[in-house]
Structure 1
């Protein structure tokens, strides 16, 4: 195609800066891609419990509704205190969210722990049971052990927390 001399000059004048801008943008993207991602330096906002350098992210799946609270109970690596009244290290509570509820709980230090959760739908701060003692609210345990024949063994719920920021997934079971 044969363009008049003025149009060719105008096209060159327009194209040269666009190429320079494109090159600069490409260089900026390359630098951004080469930069290391910043690691999370601390716990997420809303982490519950006595602050420490170690925390555990808990993703609770299968939450049936957004009523009430999700209680996350932390137990030490001691089978004699598991599910015993006043046997826990801490109970953290977050607002329940239908589908998936996320929580963060501080643990004293890296080590082995156990988690027991319940969906406190009426927010009375207690795990409600039926008249014959069966659960009346949803529940779950670390490692998602089978609970058809009763409470899980302590061995089946033990969870190793080697460092801060570990994420564990727990699926709720409802009566």
Structure 2
């Protein structure tokens, strides 16, 4: 899990962003993701779209782009207040794996001790990455709503939503 999450916060934050941001009133294939369970309102949120297979899910973004595989990234500051919804465009209708990172110090790297992570389908997170099938969702010709709950380090050996 640790190596996979390190890839989630790759050093090329602009890679995959060109076609990722939704237009106002987006009508094509896209995911409208409601973010639940933010620990605080600092840092950045990074929403990423991957092919829905284990070989490509959380793979190196440089490799995915060079191989012509679907990869998109939306990277925005955490809003100061209010509900948080991010929108990411999909290349076409289909099934995609979706990840969300709360990069609390905005350094473009995953910190096991501080940052939060979540996936479509909200699978239980341990010290391993979830299977792509458990972190995937289907999108049609129009935007699809998802809700992702962020998980933060909980105790010594696991990740879990924060206690409220």
Q: Structure 2 length as normaliser, TM-score?
A: 0.66
Q: How does 1:25-174 map to 2 (within 5 A)?
A: 49=20, 53-86=28-61, 87=64, 89-97=71-79, 100-129=83-112, 136-148=114-126, 150-174=128-152
Between 1 and 2, higher relative CO (CA 8 Å, sep ≥ 6) is seen in: 2
Q: Is the 8 A contact 2:43 2:77 kept in 1?
A: yes
Structure 2: which 5+ runs fail to align? 1-18, 65-69, 154-164
Q: CA deviation at 1:70?
A: 0.6
Alignment partners' CA distance in 2, 1:148 and 1:115: 17
Alignment partners' CA distance in 2, 1:170 and 1:99: 16
Alignment partners' CA distance in 1, 2:82 and 2:101: 14
Alignment partners' CA distance in 2, 1:50 and 1:152: 25
More helix by share: 1
Where 1:155 maps in the other structure, the secondary structure is helix
**What RMSD in Å do the two structures reach over aligned CA positions?**
2.2
Structure 1: which 5+ runs fail to align? 1-47, 131-135
After superposition, the Cα gap between the structure-2 partners of 1:166 and 1:113, relative to the gap in structure 1 and judged at 3 Å, is same
Q: CA deviation at 1:163?
A: 2.7
1:80-129 per-position Cα deviation (integer Å, ceiling 9, x unaligned): 11112224702211221467421011111110001111101111122223
1:16-52 per-position Cα deviation (integer Å, ceiling 9, x unaligned): xxxxxxxxxxxxxxxxxxxxxxxxxxxxxxxx71668
Q: Structure 1 length as normaliser, TM-score?
A: 0.63
Where 1:63 maps in the other structure, the secondary structure is coil
**How many corresponding residue pairs?**
123
Structure index of larger Rg: 1
Where 2:74 maps in the other structure, the secondary structure is strand
Q: Is the 8 A contact 1:65 1:99 kept in 2?
A: no
Alignment partners' CA distance in 2, 1:164 and 1:79: 26
After superposition, the Cα gap between the structure-2 partners of 1:117 and 1:62, relative to the gap in structure 1 and judged at 3 Å, is same
